[in-house]
Amino acid sequence: MDTSVIKERIAIIEKLEDENKKAKELLRSTLENDKIYPQIAEEAKSATKKRKELKDAIYSQEGNAKLTEDVRENMDEIKTLREILAVELMDFHEKNKTDEFVDSTGEKRKFVFTVKLLPKGAKEDDRDDLGRYTPTKNE
């Protein structure tokens, strides 16, 4: 494939993203200048705060605190396992040239890869051990 096609597509995407950024700023400004919207937004913010306080109080009750911690630990474990699985499936695909894998129940499962273009100026040392881009706080 000719790289000029890729370069052109990137340029179009960046142009559209810039247009969206400007349009979103105009919309945000319109909302802020509305007579009623800021008041309603503040009321919604207050209600959200009250809801969070109530939710936190319920979750911290005896019995619920342990469940909450168990869920957090399981979510962390699932995230780690999915990251490892992604690397293993990439390796499997590279060695076997297939996007299908038979799981432990005998069911045939397909997997897909996703590609993301890193932001301009991203450096190779901005990647973690699995090759994922980890943005700095300035971005």
Residue 137: DSSP 8-state? T
pLDDT > 70? residue 87: yes
Tokens of 139: 């971005």
Q: Which segments of 36-119 are extended strands (E)? A: 100-102, 108-110
HSE-CB at 21 with a 13 A cutoff on CA atoms is: 6
Residue, of 118 and 96, whose pLDDT is higher: 96
pTM summary value: 0.65
Q: At what angle do helices 37-59 and 64-96 cross, to 10 degrees?
A: 100
Task: Please give the Cα distance from 39 to 58 (Å, whole number).
Answer: 29
Task: Please give the Cα distance from 128 to 139 (Å, whole number).
Answer: 17
pLDDT > 60? residue 42: yes
Mean pLDDT of 73-97: 95
